[in-house]
Chain A
Amino acid sequence: MASNAAAPFWRAAGMTYITYSNLCANLVRNCLKEPYKTEALNREKVHYSISKWVDGKPQKPTIRSDTPED
């Protein structure tokens, strides 16, 4: 039973709600029984490449891959 300060503690550490909820979901998925577990973990693969632009110039693109959470 989380106390009322549960929401802020992860936000104080710099996480957004999305990161927090993905983390929770990941933990739950890891506790599943076998056939459900592999099927759930297939739902977690991440891969994309992001490049930030400043003033019309692209900066070096970084690839984020295979980490469900940031």
Chain B
Amino acid sequence: MAMAALRREGRRFATPLISPNPTNALRSSLIPSQEPVSSGVRCISTQVVRNRMKSVKNIQKITKAMKMVAASKLRAIQTKTENSRGLWQPFTALLGDTPSVDVKKNVIVTISSDKGLCGGINSTSVKISRAIHKLNSGPEKENKYVVLGEKAKAQLLRDSKKDIELIMTELQKNPLNYTQVSVIADDILKNVEFDALRIVYNKFQSVVAFLPTMSTVLSPEVVEREAEAGGKLGELDSYEVEGAETKAEVLQNLAEFQFSCVMFNAVLENACSEQGARMSAMDSSSRNAGDMLDRLTLTYNRTRQASITTELIEIISGASALEG
């Protein structure tokens, strides 16, 4: 499914300059150029094929360059991502992971990219967000979206307009850092009421594998509630709390800090996945362009040889007509 999408992406990219199914189209629907063709013979002029070859070659160069750029960006951001992986682990070790917690107000934070041409990752994120929305819908339950990135914005606008709370874009103008993400997290905390935050992103597993992942951050009140109910968080009570005056204070600070850290990791992982997906999309696109170029070259040569043969035939038949 992903490969088909990539191939479609590759072909779609090439389409503005080349019509689909070039080899067939060349035979049937093309307008012959001004090169003189002997009447009665239906063939395509070499000029058109040559133009087409030039544009496909350009596309191949462009996509190859984009792949290199994505590869270098990936290298830079991959180290940052790996370093940030330790950041959310203590929180999960302490508070556990409760994706199936039952809350009234769910806020789904969808992380996506601003730029396109990165394969299917943004669609996957949006699909999962919609599924979570559906999973958590019910009487008295409220689901809102916070969208980071243009691509998810475009997709979610289509059918979930009234559930969108905040949209943030242009995140990657400066290299990603903790301060930026924490300011974003701060904005979300200030503007949106929530019982549970679900962060949807693509975790970077390797250059060709991206796993859609959902992290859950609970608000302090829900943490209290779950702690009393027992289960994973029941142990929380056994922890003594140092600092500040009340446990609730510290829990609130903790929840905010947890959100900020988890967001940071999520944004970095998504950015890594974006670059990786772009690399593979551009790679398959340049490979497609290469294939197309081969086919066009064959057509070109056939056309050229056909026209030479035609000329020869004319000459020879003209000569033999004169003789005999």
Contact = CB atoms under 8 A, between A and B. Distances in A.
Q: Is there direct touching of A and B in the complex, by C-beta distance under 8 Å?
A: yes
Interface of A: 4-5, 7-8, 11, 16-19, 21-22, 25-26, 42-53, 55-56, 58, 61, 63-64, 68-70
Contacts of A5: 245
Given A7-B243, A22-B183, A70-B183, A53 B178 contact: no
B21 interface: no
Nearest to B186: A18
Given A7-B243, A7-B244, A56-B164, A19 B169 contact: no
Contact of B186 (A11, A16, A49): A16
B152 to A, nearest CB: 13
14 contacts: A7-B243, A18-B182, A18-B185, A18-B257, A22-B179, A22-B182, A26-B179, A43-B179, A47-B170, A50-B166, A52-B166, A56-B161, A70-B183, A70-B187
B240 to A, nearest CB: 16
How many chain B residues sit at the interface, stated as a range, is: 35 or more
Given A44-B179, A56-B161, 17 more contacts: A7-B244, A7-B245, A8-B245, A21-B182, A25-B179, A46-B179, A47-B171, A47-B174, A47-B180, A48-B170, A48-B180, A50-B184, A51-B168, A52-B191, A56-B164, A61-B167, A61-B169
B72 interface: no
A49 B186 CA distance: 14
Interface in B159-212: 161-162, 164-171, 173-175, 177-180, 182-187, 189-191
B38 interface: no
Contacts of B253: 7, 17
Contacts of B182: 18, 21-22
A18 B165 CA distance: 21
A17 B191 CA distance: 15
A50 B74 CA distance: 26
B37 to A, nearest CB: 56
A55 B162 contact: yes
Contact of A43 (B162, B177, B183): B177
Nearest to A25: B179
A45 B177 contact: yes
Nearest to B166: A52
A18 B180 contact: no
**A-B complex: 5 closest residue pairs judged by Cβ atoms:** A45-B174, A17-B253, A7-B244, A56-B162, A56-B161
Contacts of B224: none
Contacts of A18: 182-183, 185-186, 189, 256-257, 260
B249 interface: yes
